[in-house]
Structure 1
């Protein structure tokens, strides 16, 4: 596939983030993990991938994030809009945007090159590809972890903070995301917003792929789920227990 442009979302919550303050920093992306700002870990993984040509770091406060970044001509940093959906809509409607776009987040501290490569390879050709991890795989690896699961026929899944926007047609799905963005942790709201196709998935009458196919037909886009082989792709850093888990995993690797 042609090389993707990665969008690394490193925004902050309005009014300050108590989680960041807990670790003595002013933004979540700056929380230190084993001696370096968290944002550096997904940035390094993206730049290591043969599928990524450039990384655009998006944040409300570029002057706060820029000082911790290393020199590399392949990344840039720029202001983001108020919400994730607004930011993506702005980029997707910019005639200078080069497709496809890979979207991930600064709290994806366990992201690695292999995850990025698999996701890009298997998401190629879809208007919108979503990275997911099966409950069985993650519970086998990390039985103590707690995630938000959505059940379908033949399995439960959680998101992996990886999205591939293959074309401007993905804007149709982003517009829906904008409408339910405040409830993005409650996957059933996104399903119900799509009417019967989503409801059938919620009631576990369809598999994940069947549900996405039906959703895609309703929206006029091609949707695809990419099941990540490494279940650690589902682990982000949203709370202190996540921080302790991720730190322990990285410490063992080191």
Structure 2
């Protein structure tokens, strides 16, 4: 099992966390005495993963990754393109996460791998709204609303087999429509769109159907800990992460 950490810089407006902290990239922000990227690397190593690569285009992030004993890979035009580069370099099975997953724990990674159905080519960890709110009352997340609950992504993905490469182009589509789930349902056909409109479509069924359409077995894996969905997208998230890690 190898791992890829996505730490690319997107064009456009400066990242609000990096800007507020006066650094070139938010993965360099100090939390509990070490850079955010170091927390992610430590969690992956705690999960038993020794070969870790960081996809980054910021010089300071690349230098830090090398200091942490990681390989450094080029970034693509977006997260999915960077994953394609990582899969080519590292092979499958490949665990993918992000550099702003400051609260990541090794036990979450182990649970995710253990809970993923054995036949899966691709799996993704998502947390139910009630689990997130129980773990962190008042947290504001973006939720996908389906018949089997309201879900938020946990920035943990498993490309379990070489066949997972077929899912990368679809990943681009999901990136674009992640806040408009009805559009994802529409791509699956009129029956799926109608099921979503009537509140009958489950997210697990939608993911499985999407996988079948592109020739992979795709699985939704529910997170055991709602904190797994809490990443650092904005300064308020950073304050929360610092408070949680300070009390750990």
Aligned counterparts, 1:46-195, within 5 A: 46-50=44-48, 52-61=49-58, 63-69=59-65, 71=67, 73=69, 75-92=70-87, 94=88, 97-123=90-116, 124-195=118-189
**RMSD of aligned residue pairs (Cα, Å):** 2.1
Distance of aligned partners of 1:13 and 1:201 in 2 relative to their CA distance in 1, 3 Å threshold: same
More deviation, 185-194/127-136: 185-194
> How many residues in Structure 1 have an aligned counterpart in Structure 2?
245
**Secondary structure of the corresponding residue to residue 104 of structure 2:** coil
How far apart, CA to CA, are the structure 1 residues paired with 2:26 and 2:175? 19
How far apart, CA to CA, are the structure 1 residues paired with 2:165 and 2:191? 19
How far apart, CA to CA, are the structure 1 residues paired with 2:173 and 2:103? 29
Structure 1 stretches of 5 or more lacking a match? none
How far apart, CA to CA, are the structure 2 residues paired with 1:196 and 1:168? 31
How far apart, CA to CA, are the structure 2 residues paired with 1:160 and 1:195? 27
User: Deviation of residue 183 (structure 1)?
Assistant: 4.2
Structure number with greater CO (CA < 8 Å, separation at least 6) is 2
- Calculate the TM-score normalised by the size of structure 2: 0.89
1:80-111 deviation digits (Å, cap 9, x = unpaired): 1221111222343x3x5421110000000010
How far apart, CA to CA, are the structure 1 residues paired with 2:90 and 2:62? 22
User: Deviation of residue 31 (structure 1)?
Assistant: 1.6
**Secondary structure of the corresponding residue to residue 51 of structure 2:** strand
Residue 240 of structure 1 aligns with which residue? 235
Aligned counterparts, 1:14-33, within 5 A: 14-15=11-12, 16-33=14-31
**Secondary structure of the corresponding residue to residue 55 of structure 2:** strand
User: Deviation of residue 120 (structure 1)?
Assistant: 1.3
How far apart, CA to CA, are the structure 1 residues paired with 2:5 and 2:140? 24
Correspondent of 2:221 among 219, 226, 238: 226
The answer to whether the 8 Å contact 2:65/2:71 transfers is no
The answer to whether the 8 Å contact 2:182/2:196 transfers is no
User: Does the alignment pair 1:5 with 2:2?
Assistant: yes
